[in-house]
Structure 1
Amino acid sequence: MTKEEVAAALDEIGTLLELKGENPFRCNAYHQAARMIQQLEGDLHELVASGKLAEVRGIGEALQEKIATLVTTGRLSFLDELRASVPAGMVQMLRIPGLGPKKVKALYEQLHVRDIGELKAACERGEVARLKGFGDKTQAKILEGIEFLQRQGQRVRLDQALPLAEELMEQLRRGGHVQQIAVCGSVRRRRETVHDLDILVCSEAPQPVMDRFVRLPQVQQVLAQGPTRSSVVLVQHIQGEKITLQADLRIVTPSQYPYALLYFTGSKEHNIRLRQRALSRGWTLNEYMMGTESQPILAKTEEEIYAALGLAYIPPELREDTGEIEAAERGELPVLVEESDLRGVFHCHTTASDGRATLEEMALAAERLGLEYLGIADHSQSLTVAGGLSPQAVRDQWQQIDRLNARLHKVRLLKGTEVDILDDGSLDYPDELLAGFDYVVASVHTHFQMSREAMTARVCKALAHPAVTMLGHPTGRLLLKRDGYKIDLEAVLRTAAQYGKMIEINAQPQRLDLDWLHVKQARALGVPLVINPDAHALPELEYVRYGVMVARRGWLERRQVFNTRSLPEVLEELQRRKQAWLSASPARKKSAHRSH
């Protein structure tokens, strides 16, 4: 089993045990172990074989044995027995807002409800309201929750949730009585997909703010309304897509605001670690205060809360309990990369392949954004569905780039390609043509159904090719639409490190590929990362902001992102890499000279 599969199995055990009414501490141990396994840097099989798994915090002997069994055999009889004892539909019922394991268990035992459909029917018959601990109000809430799930489906992407949150906050600001406002939760932590919005307001006049919130034009339904907290269902069309999302507004006083901001930002696991530090000092830490009733600590900012706990300030993107507490304690947190650090990009398309803007239009747009260099990487010849360029079309484009560079003074166009990695791991252009590019992005676009072993070998073979500069969108995933192809990303990252190749963080919001967890692993291996917009139109050049968010969640500093380098530094490095290859083949060197 892979690391991801083992983590999923452990998480499933924790959930199934909750539904069976097991001890909460035992259930949480499995959930925590799942998180630790997923975030481990290094090969899980090697950790199991060497016995070093025992050194991982939160994984005791019993869990070590189960993990070892999963890793070595791919099965666990304990999990199989749990699955057989719990109807699969009960797990889905946990998605209903406000319906926890205890209530799901009660519904199953008393009404024999096995899934969401049966639960809806039982509510409509009035049976749920008659159960002890439920009542008419709970039954109505369950029906609302089921209806909401059916409307909203699963999650929405960050690029859809963040602009909606920003728009809501601006509308609330304009109405007055708002001293401070922030979006919290997974949006503030910049997770790639979002389940709901958490808006926090500091105000000494909460009622007019709350009244305005529930009457915003995006609000389709008011789920709950109170003096300091309300929940609504929002509907908004973003980029031609209808988005349905729950939003919660909480209003606090100025003295409560920094504590509420910290608490509602999360993550839950990060907050638990902070509360443990507070308890060790004899303090309480919650969404309203820190300290004791007689001696509260009057912090004005999150920075002051962290300082009181003996920690450096931890940026929201890092608050996932993946080592940030320990790094903050040691004063070793990274200085995270900023969007303003980027000097250029490499993966962009034009009308020569499947882009919607010409070469000159892309160049002028990059110039307006203040970029020093713009890499053009149209598709290669085999990807006919995307208008892949023939060798002659490539040479024609090179001449166009030369003519434009002679006229442009603020931005430099670089000659690149997004060359297809063919099913046998070879590249879609001959070496003689590859030698003429300034850089090469290698990507998989076809044959997604290959086995994990075959796909891994395919990509690793391409990375070993001396012409390849960077790997594009490493898993091929489309968020909320398509899983990535099966691939051993750890093996790919090790291969990239071995051959000194870069890995792309594809900032196209439907991709965000490499994900943040594997960005952390690449960072640990010393693999250079590059943030690319994969732009097919002028506005998409600005997608880099989402790539920066992934990079920050992956602990990247400026020096670890290749396109934070200046144009002279980039040209020097690309030439060094190219020269190392060409010097080994006089024929290629001669061909490259003719191309330029």
Structure 2
Amino acid sequence: MLADDVARLLDEMGTLLELQGENPFRCRAYHTAADAVRGVGGDLLDMVSSGRLAAEVPGIGETIQSKITQLVTTGRLTALEELREQMPAGLVALLRVPGLGPKKIKALHEALAITSLADLRRVAESGAIAGLKGFGAKTQQKILEGLDFVESSGDRILQSTALRLVAPIVEAVRKAPGVEQVEVCGSLRRRLETIGDLDVLFAADDPAPVLDRFVALPEVAGVLAHGPTKASVRLAGGVQCDLRGVTPEQFTFALHYFTGSKAHNIAMRRRAIARGLRLNEYALEGSEGPLACRSEAELFEALGLDFIPPELREDHGEFDLAERGPIPPLIERSDLRGTFHCHTDWSDGGNTLLEMAEAARQRGLSYLGIADHSRSAGYANGLSIDRVRRQWDEIDALNETFGREFRLFKGIECDILPDGSLDYPDEVLEGFDYVVASVHSSFGQARQVMTDRIVRAVRHPLVTMLGHPSGRLLLRRDAYAVDLDAVIDAAAEAGTMIEINANPHRLDLDAPHARRARERGITLVINPDAHATGGLDDLEFGIGVARRAGLSPEHVLNTANCSEVARRLKKTSSR
């Protein structure tokens, strides 16, 4: 069993325990272990068999270690299966409703026998929730609004979930006899934040045998359609996956077409018609017959365009760029030299400073910014002023051992308080190398109040960058009411940077606003918001947002080397 699968089941275990009202520390231990396991990658069986699991994956106690061992050796977890039997399946779905945590769900279940989203809407519309102790009319209205949000999200999944589900499909198709090429298409190739279904394309002279193998894969829970060139299935969890087969000569055109977007494809077809050509999903044809295109680059060239990366294919200005050409190179993961906004066990992270530093070095980074929670975040073990200074001492000591090869920067994720002031006095903030200012409370403020609150923070001379600006949690919580354009304008005037939070549950700033920030001359920072070593791998999701925004390496702070970053941070803190 792969590490991602084990982590997902550990998270589910922690969530079900929360819904049962278990000790919060016990529940949190499962979520922390899940974060730690994600950082391992690959197959855990060898680590378990050799006894290296406890030594190499910190933060995992004896109880959870035994459960991981059971998972990787048997593919089952008895304790989880028992919890699933005890808990109505629909209760977990209630966690998607913004503002509904495990405690409130448990209370609703016990008081009103709610076991599903449909039950929740029925009792909320009847007014029954307003009369419950600890709820009230306002909470009931927020629940109704949250249900609307869930329904508008539909059955979409996170990009990270989609990648995990599609990986074994792609690998199996690639290994099938006769397959020459295989690629993921659709919104996942364009790196949208959430994905509706999965699209995979392959090239083979005879697609039928490949499709026969596909529908028989162990990942397939049900077959929806099965023809000679296309099959549609439901994977575990209900996600639809479509596999299409084309000839090698058709592959370039099909790859472009099934990548989309629809608006981009329409514009491409119009462009072909204007040049006396016809473009469809299988060919580009002229008056003398089909034109051979061995790659998408050749297809774009045939229409007088520079290659347009998949992330830009939304008909939002990419054709103007490609006509002028060449399109400036978009940022790659390899361009990042370091990152910021990372948590440790000083607050609510699962790893020590040293463990986070070593994990960063293993991933080819030359610096890492530590930004644990500030003192108001009691729920996250936020740092008192005394603990801040003790953490600084530990960072200084570690930097002595690293020498010039690596550096830890002293940062903080400082709460923006409801009135826009910051969580520490200036004399403390001055001691950090950088300050990430973030909203973690009073999400329900009116739009103008929230906007003024964040604007005040980004104008503070000691704030280096704004963290997760909209506060959204994809598929779980909508953004708070805020005028992000006004915030971006204020950050541009103040010289404050803005992060692209790469956590796949956030991806915040989103691509359209990141593009606007770039146009206003703001420096963006790709941060993982990592709470364990494995969270550093989320940088790739931030790269996807940055590419969709058209960012090149020079637009992003953490493509600079360590000495340049230190210089820029010092200049920012003294502005």
Tell me if both proteins adopt one fold, taking TM over 0.5 as the criterion.
yes
1:415 and 2:410 matched: yes
Q: What is the aligned partner in structure 2 of residue 525 from structure 1?
A: 520
CA distance in 1, matches of 2:238, 2:361: 37
* CA offset digits 1:63-108 (Å, max 9, x no partner): xxxxxxxxxxxxxxxxxxxxxxxxxxxxxxxxxxxxxxxxxxxxxx
Does 1:166 find its partner at 2:133? no
Alignment match of 1:245 (pick from 239, 247, 266): 239
Secondary structure of the 1:347 match is strand
| Cα separation, 2, equivalents of 1:181 and 1:293 | 30
Change (3 A) 1:518 1:175: same
Task: Tell me the secondary structure at the aligned position of residue 238 of structure 2.
Answer: strand
Letter in 2 for 1:486: A
Question: How far is the alpha carbon of 1:368 from its aligned partner?
Answer: 1.1
- Tell me the distance in 1 between the aligned counterparts of 2:175 and 2:289: 37
Q: Is 1:226 equivalent to 2:233 in the alignment?
A: no
Classify the secondary structure of the residue corresponding to 1:176: coil
Q: Give the alignment of 1:511-550 within 5 angstroms.
A: 511-550=506-545
Structure-to-structure mapping, 1:495-506, within 5 angstroms: 495-506=490-501
> In structure 1, what is the equivalent of residue 350 of structure 2?
356
Identify the residue that residue 433 of structure 2 maps to in structure 1. 438
Does the residue aligned with 1:321 lie in a helix, a strand or coil? coil
CA offset digits 1:369-413 (Å, max 9, x no partner): 121111000000011001100000000000000111111243200
TM-score normalised by the chain length of structure 1: 0.70
Offset of 1:294 from its aligned partner?
4.0
**Pairing of 1:37-436 with structure 2 (within 5 A):** 153-235=154-236, 243-292=237-286, 294-331=288-325, 333-409=327-403, 410-436=405-431
- Provide the C-alpha distance between the structure 1 equivalents of 2:349 and 2:494, rounded to a whole number of angstroms: 31
Q: CA deviation at 1:173?
A: 1.6
Instruction: Give the conservation status (yes or no) of the 8 Å contact 2:272–2:278.
Output: yes
Cα deviation, residue 159, structure 1? 0.5
Distance in 2 separating the partners of 1:532 and 1:551: 11
Which residue identity is paired with 2:158?
R
Partner in structure 2 of residue 482 of structure 1: 477
Query: 1:445-488, CA deviations, whole angstroms, 9 ceiling, x for partnerless residues?
Result: 00000000000000000011100000000011000000011000
Q: C-alpha deviations, 1:492-533, integer Å up to 9, x for none?
A: 000000000100000000000000111111111111100000
Structure 2 CA distance, aligned partners of 1:473 and 1:404?
A: 28
Shift of 1:291: 1.4
Structure 1 residues 268-295: Cα deviation after superposition (integer angstroms, max 9, x where no partner): 0000011001111221100111113742
Aligned length in residues:
425
Contact 2:462–2:574, Cα closer than 8 Å, also in 1: no
Give the Cα–Cα distance (whole angstroms) in 2 for the partners of residues 578 and 299 of structure 1.
52
- 1:149-173 CA-to-partner distances (Å, cap 9, x unmatched) read 99x9520010010122222110112
Hey, what's the Cα distance between the residues in 2 that align with 1:400 and 1:579? Answer: 24
Aligned-partner residue type, residue 177 of structure 1: G
Contact kept, 8 Å, 2:461 with 2:574, in 1: the verdict is no
The Cα shift of 1:327 comes to 1.0
Corresponding residue number in structure 2 for 1:456: 451
- Preserved CA contact (<8 Å) 1:366 1:411: no
Q: Which runs of 5+ in 2 are unaligned?
A: 1-117, 119-149
Q: Distance in 2 between matches of 1:153 and 1:190?
A: 18
| Secondary structure in structure 2 of the residue aligned to 1:336 | coil
SS for the counterpart of 1:441 is strand
Secondary structure at 1:221 match in 2? strand
Cα distance in 2 between the residues matched to 1:574 and 1:248: 47
Which residue is 2:502 aligned to?
Answer: 507
Q: How far off is 1:296 after superposition?
A: 1.2
1:198 Cα shift?
0.8
Contact between 1:224 and 1:230, CA under 8 Å: does it hold in 2?
yes
Aligned residue in 2 for 1:554: 549
Letter of the aligned partner of 1:340 in structure 2?
S
Q: 1: CA distance between counterparts of 2:466 and 2:204? A: 49
How far did 1:576 drift? 1.6
Q: Which whole-Å CA distance do the structure 2 matches of 1:411 and 1:176 have between them?
A: 46
Label 1:339 to 1:312 Cα distance change in 2 as closer, same or farther (>3 A).
Answer: same
Deviations 1:134-160 (CA, angstroms, capped at 9, x unpaired): xxxxxxxxxxxxxxx99x952001001
2:417–2:423: 8 Å Cα contact kept in structure 1? Answer: yes
Q: Which amino acid in 2 is paired with 1:357?
A: N
CA distance in 2, matches of 1:428, 1:500: 21
Q: Which moved more, 1:527-536 or 1:163-172?
A: 163-172
Secondary structure of the residue that 2:485 maps to in structure 1?
helix
> How many Å apart are 1:175 and its aligned residue?
2.6
Matched position secondary structure for 2:349: coil
Amino acid at match of 2:461: P
Cα deviation per residue 1:95-128 (whole Å; 9 max; x = unaligned)?
xxxxxxxxxxxxxxxxxxxxxx9xxxxxxxxxxx
In 1, the alpha carbon distance for the partners of 2:251 and 2:369 equals 45
Q: Quote the Cα distance in structure 1 between the aligned partners of 2:318 and 2:547.
A: 12
**Could you tell me how far 1:246 is from its partner in structure 2?**
0.5
8 Å Cα contact 2:503-2:529 kept in structure 1: yes
C-alpha distance in 1 between matches for 2:201 and 2:348: 42
Q: Which moved more, 1:397-406 or 1:330-339?
A: 330-339
Which residue identity is paired with 2:529? Answer: D
1:332 Cα offset (Å): 5.0
- Asked which structure has the greater RCO (Cα within 8 Å, sep 6+), the reply is 2
SS at match of 2:434: coil
The Cα of 1:244 is off from its aligned counterpart by: 2.5
How far apart, CA to CA, are the structure 1 residues paired with 2:307 and 2:316?
15
CA distance in 2, matches of 1:285, 1:514: 35
Q: Indicate if the aligned counterparts of 1:455 and 1:487 stay in contact, CA closer than 8 A.
A: yes
Amino acid in the other structure paired with 2:454: V
- 1:419–1:428 CA contact under 8 A, matched in 2: yes
2:463–2:573 CA contact under 8 A, matched in 1: no
Distance in 2 between residues matched to 1:396 and 1:522, nearest whole Å: 36
Identical positions, percent: 55
Partner secondary structure for residue 328 of structure 2: coil
Q: Distance in 2 between matches of 1:368 and 1:558?
A: 22
Aligned residue runs from structure 1 range 566-585, under 5 A:
566-580=561-575
Contact 1:348 1:375 in 2 (8 A): yes
Q: Distance in 2 between matches of 1:208 and 1:219?
A: 16
Greater C-alpha radius of gyration: 1
Q: Quote the Cα distance in structure 1 between the aligned partners of 2:420 and 2:284.
A: 57
Q: Is the CA contact (8 Å cut-off) linking 2:343 and 2:371 kept in structure 1?
A: yes
CA shift for structure 1 position 579: 3.1
